[in-house]
Amino acid sequence: MSVSTIEEAIEDIRQGKMVILVDDEDRENEGDLTLAAEAATPENINFMAKYGRGLICLTLTPDKCDQLGLRPMVRDNTSPFETAFTVSIEAKHGVTTGISAADRAHTIITAVNDGASPNDLVSPGHIFPLRARKGGVLVRLGQTEGSVDLARLAGLKPAGVICEIMNDDGSMARMPELKVFAKEHGLKICTIA
Protein backbone atom coordinates (compact mmCIF):
# COMPACT_ATOMS: atom_id res chain seq x y z
CA MET A 1 0.00 0.00 0.00
CA SER A 2 1.41 3.36 -1.02
CA VAL A 3 0.95 6.77 0.54
CA SER A 4 -2.19 8.55 -0.66
CA THR A 5 -2.38 12.08 -1.97
CA ILE A 6 -3.64 14.83 0.30
CA GLU A 7 -6.69 15.15 -1.96
CA GLU A 8 -7.56 11.47 -1.41
CA ALA A 9 -7.17 11.86 2.36
CA ILE A 10 -9.32 15.01 2.40
CA GLU A 11 -12.08 13.21 0.48
CA ASP A 12 -12.09 10.32 2.98
CA ILE A 13 -12.22 12.78 5.88
CA ARG A 14 -15.09 14.62 4.14
CA GLN A 15 -16.95 11.29 3.91
CA GLY A 16 -16.53 10.64 7.64
CA LYS A 17 -13.85 7.99 7.17
CA MET A 18 -10.61 7.57 9.07
CA VAL A 19 -7.16 7.95 7.56
CA ILE A 20 -3.73 7.24 8.99
CA LEU A 21 -1.75 10.45 9.41
CA VAL A 22 2.02 9.90 9.64
CA ASP A 23 4.57 12.45 10.75
CA ASP A 24 8.23 12.62 9.74
CA GLU A 25 10.72 9.89 10.65
CA ASP A 26 12.86 12.60 12.28
CA ARG A 27 9.97 13.67 14.54
CA GLU A 28 7.76 11.23 16.48
CA ASN A 29 7.76 8.79 13.54
CA GLU A 30 4.22 7.66 14.39
CA GLY A 31 0.96 7.02 12.61
CA ASP A 32 -2.33 8.19 14.07
CA LEU A 33 -5.82 7.09 13.19
CA THR A 34 -7.40 10.41 12.23
CA LEU A 35 -11.06 11.37 11.92
CA ALA A 36 -13.01 14.60 11.62
CA ALA A 37 -14.37 15.24 15.12
CA GLU A 38 -17.92 15.84 13.92
CA ALA A 39 -17.89 12.30 12.45
CA ALA A 40 -17.18 10.69 15.84
CA THR A 41 -19.43 7.69 16.51
CA PRO A 42 -19.30 4.95 19.14
CA GLU A 43 -18.20 2.56 16.38
CA ASN A 44 -15.18 4.53 15.20
CA ILE A 45 -14.13 5.48 18.74
CA ASN A 46 -14.26 1.78 19.62
CA PHE A 47 -12.18 1.01 16.49
CA MET A 48 -9.56 3.51 17.65
CA ALA A 49 -9.45 2.01 21.15
CA LYS A 50 -9.38 -1.60 19.94
CA TYR A 51 -7.02 -1.34 16.97
CA GLY A 52 -5.14 1.93 17.46
CA ARG A 53 -4.49 1.31 21.16
CA GLY A 54 -3.09 4.80 21.78
CA LEU A 55 -4.56 7.76 23.60
CA ILE A 56 -7.74 9.08 22.00
CA CYS A 57 -7.42 12.85 21.71
CA LEU A 58 -9.64 15.66 20.44
CA THR A 59 -7.74 18.25 18.39
CA LEU A 60 -9.12 21.77 18.51
CA THR A 61 -8.26 25.24 17.27
CA PRO A 62 -7.06 27.80 19.82
CA ASP A 63 -10.35 29.69 19.39
CA LYS A 64 -12.40 26.56 20.17
CA CYS A 65 -10.24 25.80 23.22
CA ASP A 66 -10.85 29.34 24.45
CA GLN A 67 -14.60 29.07 23.74
CA LEU A 68 -14.70 25.93 25.90
CA GLY A 69 -12.52 27.43 28.64
CA LEU A 70 -9.92 24.67 28.25
CA ARG A 71 -6.80 25.47 30.25
CA PRO A 72 -3.41 23.91 29.53
CA MET A 73 -2.84 20.65 31.40
CA VAL A 74 0.38 22.08 32.82
CA ARG A 75 1.68 25.60 33.35
CA ASP A 76 5.14 24.85 31.91
CA ASN A 77 5.03 22.48 28.91
CA THR A 78 8.37 20.66 28.83
CA SER A 79 7.29 17.99 26.32
CA PRO A 80 10.00 17.62 23.64
CA PHE A 81 7.37 17.97 20.90
CA GLU A 82 5.43 20.69 22.76
CA THR A 83 2.21 18.67 22.63
CA ALA A 84 -0.38 21.12 23.93
CA PHE A 85 -2.66 19.01 26.13
CA THR A 86 -5.47 20.81 27.90
CA VAL A 87 -7.32 19.53 30.95
CA SER A 88 -9.25 16.36 30.11
CA ILE A 89 -13.00 16.64 29.58
CA GLU A 90 -16.32 14.83 29.75
CA ALA A 91 -19.77 15.87 28.57
CA LYS A 92 -21.73 17.20 31.54
CA HIS A 93 -24.92 15.45 30.41
CA GLY A 94 -25.70 12.28 28.48
CA VAL A 95 -22.84 10.08 29.70
CA THR A 96 -22.50 7.41 32.38
CA THR A 97 -18.93 6.78 33.53
CA GLY A 98 -17.45 8.55 30.51
CA ILE A 99 -15.11 5.79 29.34
CA SER A 100 -17.35 3.81 27.00
CA ALA A 101 -17.00 4.39 23.27
CA ALA A 102 -20.52 5.86 23.24
CA ASP A 103 -19.70 8.23 26.11
CA ARG A 104 -16.45 9.36 24.51
CA ALA A 105 -18.14 9.95 21.13
CA HIS A 106 -20.87 11.93 22.91
CA THR A 107 -18.26 14.06 24.69
CA ILE A 108 -16.49 14.80 21.39
CA ILE A 109 -19.73 15.76 19.63
CA THR A 110 -20.73 17.93 22.61
CA ALA A 111 -17.38 19.75 22.58
CA VAL A 112 -17.38 20.49 18.84
CA ASN A 113 -20.98 21.72 18.79
CA ASP A 114 -20.98 25.30 17.51
CA GLY A 115 -22.75 26.60 20.60
CA ALA A 116 -20.75 24.58 23.14
CA SER A 117 -19.62 26.36 26.28
CA PRO A 118 -17.69 25.49 29.45
CA ASN A 119 -21.07 24.70 31.05
CA ASP A 120 -21.47 21.70 28.72
CA LEU A 121 -18.33 19.97 30.02
CA VAL A 122 -16.76 18.77 33.24
CA SER A 123 -13.13 18.05 34.11
CA PRO A 124 -11.35 15.74 34.49
CA GLY A 125 -12.72 13.33 31.93
CA HIS A 126 -11.86 10.62 29.45
CA ILE A 127 -11.26 12.81 26.38
CA PHE A 128 -7.92 14.57 26.04
CA PRO A 129 -8.12 17.80 24.03
CA LEU A 130 -5.06 19.09 22.22
CA ARG A 131 -4.68 22.75 21.29
CA ALA A 132 -3.51 23.06 17.68
CA ARG A 133 -1.23 25.93 16.76
CA LYS A 134 -2.57 28.75 14.62
CA GLY A 135 -1.11 28.26 11.15
CA GLY A 136 -1.50 24.47 11.27
CA VAL A 137 1.17 22.26 9.74
CA LEU A 138 2.91 25.31 8.31
CA VAL A 139 3.86 26.17 11.90
CA ARG A 140 4.08 22.72 13.58
CA LEU A 141 4.38 19.37 11.78
CA GLY A 142 2.27 17.40 14.24
CA GLN A 143 -0.79 15.18 13.96
CA THR A 144 -2.65 17.72 16.12
CA GLU A 145 -2.32 20.41 13.47
CA GLY A 146 -2.59 17.94 10.60
CA SER A 147 -5.93 16.59 11.77
CA VAL A 148 -7.39 20.09 12.23
CA ASP A 149 -6.09 21.08 8.78
CA LEU A 150 -7.58 17.95 7.14
CA ALA A 151 -11.01 18.62 8.65
CA ARG A 152 -10.87 22.28 7.62
CA LEU A 153 -9.77 21.41 4.07
CA ALA A 154 -12.64 18.90 3.88
CA GLY A 155 -15.09 21.72 4.60
CA LEU A 156 -15.87 20.42 8.08
CA LYS A 157 -15.46 21.91 11.54
CA PRO A 158 -11.72 22.39 12.17
CA ALA A 159 -11.42 19.66 14.78
CA GLY A 160 -10.20 16.09 14.69
CA VAL A 161 -9.91 12.92 16.71
CA ILE A 162 -6.54 11.17 16.71
CA CYS A 163 -5.21 7.96 18.23
CA GLU A 164 -1.68 6.59 17.91
CA ILE A 165 -1.33 3.15 16.34
CA MET A 166 0.61 0.59 18.34
CA ASN A 167 1.68 -2.91 17.35
CA ASP A 168 0.29 -5.99 19.10
CA ASP A 169 3.36 -6.07 21.36
CA GLY A 170 2.79 -2.47 22.53
CA SER A 171 5.56 -0.90 20.45
CA MET A 172 4.79 2.01 18.15
CA ALA A 173 3.82 1.05 14.60
CA ARG A 174 6.22 2.47 12.02
CA MET A 175 5.66 2.82 8.27
CA PRO A 176 6.15 -0.87 7.36
CA GLU A 177 3.60 -1.95 9.99
CA LEU A 178 1.32 1.00 9.20
CA LYS A 179 1.12 -0.09 5.54
CA VAL A 180 0.02 -3.58 6.62
CA PHE A 181 -2.47 -2.09 9.10
CA ALA A 182 -3.88 0.23 6.41
CA LYS A 183 -4.33 -2.65 3.97
CA GLU A 184 -6.00 -4.87 6.60
CA HIS A 185 -8.50 -2.15 7.53
CA GLY A 186 -8.98 -0.45 4.16
CA LEU A 187 -7.54 2.89 5.28
CA LYS A 188 -5.53 5.47 3.38
CA ILE A 189 -2.16 6.72 4.65
CA CYS A 190 -1.09 10.33 4.25
CA THR A 191 1.96 12.13 5.55
CA ILE A 192 2.40 15.53 7.14
CA ALA A 193 5.88 16.20 5.76
Q: What is the pLDDT of residues 108-134, one digit of tens each?
A: 999 999 999 999 999 999 999 999 999
Is domain 6-191 in CATH 3.40.50.300, yes or no?
Answer: no
**How far lies 3's CA from each of 84, 86, 176, in Å?**
27, 31, 11
Q: What is the pLDDT of residues 44-87, one digit of tens each?
A: 999 999 999 999 999 999 999 999 999 999 999 888 878 899 99
Q: Of 49-58, 132-141, 173-182, where does mean pLDDT reach its minimum? A: 132-141
Q: Is 22 exposed, middle or buried (0-12, 13-18, 19+ CB in 10 A)?
A: buried
Mean pLDDT of 5-24: 95
Higher pLDDT, 18 or 81: 18
Mean pLDDT of 131-144: 91
Tally the C-alpha atoms within 13 A of residue 140's C-alpha that lie toward its C-beta.
17
Neighbouring CB atoms inside 10 A of 143's CB total 31
Residue spans of the domains in the chain: they are 6-191
